[in-house]
């Protein structure tokens, strides 16, 4: 970058999302890779990542520093996707002026000159997963000029311009016919029992494990959703070898953008093992244990899951008990249509007939349903209780705090005020007044309840994580013993409605 003199640019926390901004300002294609390298002692320009997304020219955001890491970027030079919801989606443009390095010339393509095999090549060229949607004007329309060739890819080529092509009879596209392409995100779980379990990996040039030493279950839920799996069931942190890993900080995970856009390269860290449900999930609820129920009816196709809602009339309390157990939650506390939003077709075509003891919903007997759609307000909304308890005390409102994430374990937290312990009491319907004791645990494994994790959205369960595994045993720590007031925080009518007053001590 030239600000009086040319210097390298440093961006210590830049990820692929910031690289994409630089590629765009360079009139190049999509961002493919980013590497951070240690600079010499020569001065560099530094641009903080949180300024890059402002839309201002990068030259307006630099400051001078003596030394830092420098950035190596790789942008595509022949194809790019614009105006999409991620780096792997957008309106396709092709560069038809590659011979002139000083002035690139990008143009859209007509849908009729582009097919599924062409899309496979583009997605691969951009470092993305296989195409999942190909449709005109998905990401806006465009006028002339239009690419004048019809591609005839076989699907194995490395780049779109390596494909054979023939002259197209079109000089312009009809409205709504400019190619819009969505490629799947290149993230995966490997080494598990199914495509929805294993070590999380992402691809930016190469596949590497993803490290997130501070990830808890709420971050796991974001990854499960982007993998098109069900609800998050478990997360484990394992010490990696010295191979490089991609790391994603927790405050970026919940942004709504694809995970790979926020990874940075680090030399070593803990890696993340996730277990997501592969047959049921709860959506749009205020916690991991609540939401609109969806069932996966396409489990035989590992590459493409198919989720659908269930009609309230085809689902009862015993069915709800099985779903809550399958998702690692406590017993159901509310079952009502459209509790968490309504949905149109398709709808699950079976009526479940669970006895209540089954491990998974799809283990239950079922019969053909008389419904092929749900009446408005009749899609199953389910609330399961949080898997949290106090044990060993004089009542259910006193004792050692335990939570369940696959198995029951005591909870370790470094909370220095009563705010977090009081929140546990509130979740247990045991009031807000609390006295706390901490005691050292034995070699019993513990769950760490992450500090500063806002329980108001993803609830207590969503803030749980396991300590990093350095050996075969978990690192022990102090656990909480709580004594809550035992007085539920609610008015008399609401408490009686849910049995709160009968649970006082």
The reply to whether 105 and 138 lie within a common domain is yes
Residue 229 lies inside a defined structural domain of this protein: yes
> What's the number of CA atoms in the CB half-sphere (13 Å) around residue 381?
16
Rounded to the nearest 5°, which phi and psi values hold at 128?
-100, 175
pLDDT at 496 over 60: no
Final residue in a domain of this structure, among 369, 384, 399: 384
- Assigned token pair, 387: 């898997």
pLDDT at 117 over 60: yes
Distance CA 26, CA 334 (A): 54
3-state SS class at 54? coil
Calculate mean pLDDT across residues 23-32.
91
The residue segments making up the domain with residue 43 are 9-75
The reply to whether 460 and 497 lie within a common domain is yes
Poorest-pLDDT segment among 100-109, 157-166, 306-315, 418-427: 100-109
The reply to whether 295 and 380 lie within a common domain is yes
pLDDT at 471 over 60: no
Provide the percentage of residues in the chain whose pLDDT is more than 70.
82
pLDDT at 367 over 80: yes
Q: Can you give 128-154 as a three-state secondary structure string?
A: CCCEEEEEECCCCCCCCCECCEEEECC
The reply to whether 378 and 294 lie within a common domain is yes
pLDDT at 2 over 60: no
**For residue 128, what is the domain's CATH number?**
3.10.250.10
Calculate mean pLDDT across residues 413-421.
76
Question: 56 Cβ partners below 8 Å, 6+ apart?
Answer: none
3-state SS class at 449? strand
Final residue in a domain of this structure, among 75, 103, 126: 75
The reply to whether 233 and 212 lie within a common domain is yes
Rounded to the nearest 5°, which phi and psi values hold at 201?
-130, 150
Could you tell me the sign of the dihedral formed by the alpha carbons of 364, 367, 368, 373, in that order?
negative
The reply to whether 400 and 490 lie within a common domain is yes
Distance CA 293, CA 285 (A): 10
**Could you read off the pLDDT of 279-337 as tens digits, one per residue?**
999 999 888 999 999 999 876 655 566 899 999 989 999 999 999 999 999 999 999 88
In this prediction, residue 457 carries a pLDDT of 44
Final residue in a domain of this structure, among 240, 271, 302: 271
Bigger pLDDT: 299 or 27? 27
- Assigned token pair, 102: 């000083």
**Could you read off the pLDDT of 53-65 as tens digits, one per residue?**
666 777 766 777 6
The reply to whether 103 and 126 lie within a common domain is yes
Residue 458 lies inside a defined structural domain of this protein: yes
In this prediction, residue 473 carries a pLDDT of 38
The reply to whether 167 and 231 lie within a common domain is no
The band of 405, judged by pLDDT with boundaries at 50, 70 and 90, is confident
pTM: 0.83
Q: How many domains does the chain have?
A: 5
């Amino acid at each position: 970058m030239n600000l009086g003199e040319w210097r390298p640019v440093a961006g210590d926390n830049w990820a692929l999302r910031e690289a994409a901004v630089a590629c765009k300002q360079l009139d190049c294609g999509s961002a493919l890779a980013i590497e951070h390298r240690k600079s010499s002692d020569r001065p560099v320009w530094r641009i903080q990542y949180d300024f890059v997304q402002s839309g201002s020219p990068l030259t307006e955001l630099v400051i001078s520093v003596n030394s830092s890491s420098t950035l190596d970027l790789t942008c595509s030079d022949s194809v790019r996707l614009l105006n999409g919801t991620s780096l792997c989606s957008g309106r396709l443009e092709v560069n038809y002026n590659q011979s002139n390095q000083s002035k690139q010339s990008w143009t859209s393509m007509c849908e009729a000159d582009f097919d599924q095999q062409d899309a496979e090549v583009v997605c691969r060229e951009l470092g993305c997963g296989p195409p999942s949607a190909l449709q005109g004007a998905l990401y806006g329309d465009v006028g002339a000029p239009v690419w004048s060739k019809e591609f005839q890819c076989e699907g194995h080529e490395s780049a779109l311009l390596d494909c054979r092509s023939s002259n197209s009879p079109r000089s312009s596209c009809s409205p709504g016919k400019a190619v819009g392409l969505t490629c799947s995100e290149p993230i995966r779980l490997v080494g598990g029992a199914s495509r929805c379990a294993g070590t999380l990996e992402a691809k930016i040039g190469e596949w590497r494990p993803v490290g997130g030493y501070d990830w808890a279950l709420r971050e796991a839920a974001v990854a499960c959703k982007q993998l098109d799996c069900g609800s998050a069931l478990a997360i484990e942190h394992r010490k990696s070898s010295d191979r490089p890993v991609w790391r994603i900080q927790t405050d970026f995970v919940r942004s709504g953008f694809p995970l790979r856009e926020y990874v940075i390269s680090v030399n070593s860290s803990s890696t993340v093992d996730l277990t997501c449900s592969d047959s049921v999930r709860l959506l749009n609820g205020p916690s991991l244990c609540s939401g609109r129920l969806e069932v996966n009816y396409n489990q035989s196709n590992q590459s493409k899951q198919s989720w659908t809602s269930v009609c309230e009339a085809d689902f009862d309390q015993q069915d709800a008990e099985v779903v809550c157990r399958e998702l690692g939650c406590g017993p159901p506390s509310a079952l009502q249509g459209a509790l968490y939003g309504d949905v149109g077709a398709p709808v699950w075509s079976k009526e479940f007939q669970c006895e209540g003891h089954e491990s998974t919903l799809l283990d239950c007997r079922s019969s053909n349903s008389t419904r092929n759609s749900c009446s408005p307000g009749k899609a199953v909304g389910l609330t399961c209780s949080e898997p949290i308890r106090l044990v060993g005390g004089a009542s259910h409102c006193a004792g050692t705090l335990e939570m369940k994430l696959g198995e029951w374990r005591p909870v370790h937290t470094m909370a220095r005020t009563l705010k977090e312990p009081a929140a546990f009491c509130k979740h247990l319907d045991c009031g807000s007044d609390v006295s706390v004791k901490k005691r050292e645990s034995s070699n019993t494994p513990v769950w760490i309840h992450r500090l500063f994790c806002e329980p108001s959205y993803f609830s207590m369960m969503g803030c749980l994580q396991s300590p990093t595994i350095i050996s075969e045993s978990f690192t022990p720590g102090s656990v909480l013993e709580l004594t809550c007031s035992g007085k539920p925080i609610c008015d008399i009518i609401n408490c009686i409605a849910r049995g709160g007053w009968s649970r006082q001590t």
